[in-house]
Structure 1
């Protein structure tokens, strides 16, 4: 759970679909909402709520059409209730860990995954406090796992709530899967569009890795590879995250860490394949194609702009900007 705030942005393979809801309550952080909840479908944010706006809003046009207006009213009221509950959870956790002031974060991530080829499903409910695992739900035994002594009280209480555990079993194995299928079908029927990527090769210094940066593509599912002399090259390659742009398209980067004489004496190519687009988008690694901020180049300004785009965006600030 330590990394789940980032993990839901990672690459999802074509056959696998997931929905994740992430609740985050904070205390001691100035100018930041005390509570935020997000809905994430296949790495794409679909709704948003925070304690400042007090309103659940869709983050995708198709999502606004997939459900009725009563859904948003109902979820707004539910989120207001969750906000109160999570604020109380922080106070309880602080007492159990014998803490008072300072910055504290309580998080919860729950949802499900569905493989549309094999039919295999998986549900999960994980909760953490201050970046550490606190408690999680075991779907096989319908009991709660408490890795911390401070969570044992909660585990015992929730283990005895048989009706509550049956609810989570039903939600994670049935209702959640139904929502995933509905949303995926609606997204496909509403947005059968494809947008080709803009591909650039970037390098900070002569000794830095070469970054193949693809941006502006849709849908999210993308495969980026480096080729050496026509063959897939996996050594010295580091995959980056796939992130959503403000306009609903996506961006990703793949880094190649080889010496300049290596790529100058061999034919290296970055190949980008976007789901639904038959054409491959290929960039040959040459000095002419490489955008850098060293040596003789008049593209330094462009590199700065592109580099700024690559920087990860803070979720709340992104949503705040879109208000």
Structure 2
């Protein structure tokens, strides 16, 4: 079975350490105002991708998904989804024959996914098929065998259990192990395809004024593990340094800030730099006037504008006085 391969970017804010990934493939047959085939992806119960046979394309449902991949990626996934649509069109017809249904509205659904705890490394997964909202077939991962609760599924159950090559091809145990070992990999249960899930931080040096502390602000990164340190002449520096907690952004990425208090004299005599490390990547920002973002420039521009307005007012008043004086002189003649 061909499968849609999707990027996973995942974090749970309410339930730290425990995470889940779920996909729902649904085929519909009959006279109904609903797409014939849909795919829904959930990460920690959040809807992050969608496809249906009417619009014929896979689309991201979160901002971070939109930013992560370009048009070529989504075109490729849409083509894969179209192929999966054809497979499910056949699946629902086979199911209807098994249940002796020739008319009416019917549904066939595949649901699969996994759960893991990034703190303990514990993993679990599932793969289930349903027909008209009832269980039809499920995969027991511990025993590695298919189970059907209904008589109509017994023949398929026996066929798949006797075909070890087919059974091993649907084995997602290796996928669960990979997810436990490294979050940044997604092994698709039906395809063994891996994607990187890391988003690099954007790092900025911020300062309100020349006498204010300097903040090293890292934001937009995923996963949350990051270190922000200060260096003084190539050595770690901890004096007059404040480190904030890692905080979530609205798009489910993270941010972290470290602030250092350093005088202009110390800055001239020594080289200070902020070092951000995330998922094996190191970003270094050296404290220089060019590198530091500040609102001092805006203050100077505002001062210039105010001064210009004052000058114009003075000129206007002076002109008015001269004009009035001249009129008085003209009246005297």
1:92 equivalenced with 2:94 (yes/no): yes
User: Following the alignment from structure 1 to structure 2, what is the Cα–Cα distance between the partners of residues 129 and 68?
Assistant: 36
Of 170, 183, 186, the match for 1:179? 186
Residue of structure 2 aligned with 1:148, choices 115, 134, 150:
150
SS in 2 for 1:179: coil
SS in 1 for 2:171: helix
* In the alignment, structure 1 residue 137 sits paired with structure 2 residue 139: yes
Given the superposition, is the C-alpha separation of residues 165 and 174 from structure 1 closer, same or farther in structure 2, using an over 3 Å criterion? farther
Residue 157 of structure 1: how far off its partner (Å) = 2.3
Report the alpha carbon displacement of residue 68 of structure 1 after superposing the two structures with TM.
Answer: 5.4
- Structure 2 Cα separation of the partners of residues 185 and 114 of structure 1: 18
Partner residue of 1:32 out of 31, 34, 40:
34
| Deviations, residues 291-321 of structure 1 (Å, cap 9, x unaligned) | xxxxxxxxxxxxxxxxxxxxxxxxxxxxxxx
Helix, strand or coil for the counterpart of 2:176?
helix
Q: Contact 1:115 / 1:121 at 8 angstroms: preserved in 2?
A: yes
Which segment drifts farther, 119-128 or 163-172? 163-172
Does residue 189 of structure 1 match 2:221? yes
Alpha-carbon offset, residue 194 of structure 1? 4.4
Matched with 1:113 is 115
d(CA) in 1 for partners of 2:31 and 2:221?
A: 41
Query: Which residue matches 1:251?
Result: none
Cα 1:168–1:66, aligned 2, differ >3 Å: closer, same or farther? farther
Specify the alignment match of 1:225 in structure 2.
none
Q: Deviations over 1:55-111 (max 9, x none)?
A: 111111212333455442332222112111111111111111111111111111111
Consecutive unaligned residues in structure 2, runs of 5 or more: 1-12, 188-193, 201-219, 224-246, 253-333
Corresponding residue SS for 2:57: coil
Q: Offset at 1:35?
A: 0.4
Distance across 1 between alignment mates of 2:159 and 2:221: 44
1:156–1:48 Cα change, 3 Å:
same
**C-alpha distance in 2 between matches for 1:119 and 1:184:** 18
Q: Which whole-Å CA distance do the structure 1 matches of 2:195 and 2:46 have between them? A: 15
Are the equivalent residues in 2 in contact too, given 1:107–1:127 (CA < 8 A)? yes
Q: Is the 8 A contact 2:148 2:157 kept in 1?
A: yes
Runs of 4+ in 1 over 6 A off after TM superposition: 180-184
8 Å Cα contact 2:123-2:177 kept in structure 1:
no
- Deviation at residue 21 of structure 1 after TM alignment: 0.7
Alignment partner, residue 312 of structure 1: none
Counterpart-to-counterpart distance in 1, 2:81 and 2:141:
24
- 2:48 aligned residue: 46
Unmatched 5+ stretches in structure 1: 1-10, 196-217, 220-323
Rounded Cα–Cα distance in structure 1 between residues aligned with 2:179 and 2:80? 17
How many aligned positions are there?
Answer: 189
Q: 1:164 to 1:64 in 2, by over 3 A?
A: farther
Distance 1:12 1:112 in 2: 18
When residues 101 and 172 of structure 1 are mapped into structure 2, their CA distance, relative to the original with a 3 A threshold, is farther
For residue 126 of structure 1, the aligned residue among 125, 128, 131 is 128
Residue by residue, what CA displacement relative to the aligned partner does 1:164-202 show, whole Å, maximum 9, x if unpaired?
32233246424566329978754972696446xxxxxxx
Conserved in 1, the CA contact under 8 Å of 2:175 and 2:186?
no
TM-aligned CA distance change 1:133 to 1:163, over 3 Å: same
Q: 1:77 aligns with which of 71, 76, 79?
A: 79
Q: Is the 8 A contact 1:114 1:122 kept in 2?
A: yes
Say whether the 8 Å CA contact 2:129–2:137 is kept in structure 1: yes
- Structure 1 CA distance for aligned equivalents of residues 54 and 75 of structure 2: 16
What is the distance in 2 between the residues matched to 1:84 and 1:12? 38
8 A Cα contact 1:111 1:123, kept in partner: yes
Ranked by relative contact order (alpha carbons within 8 Å, sequence separation 6 or more), the top structure is 1
Q: Is the 8 A contact 1:12 1:43 kept in 2?
A: no
1:50 positional shift: 0.4
CA distance in 2, matches of 1:65, 1:161: 42
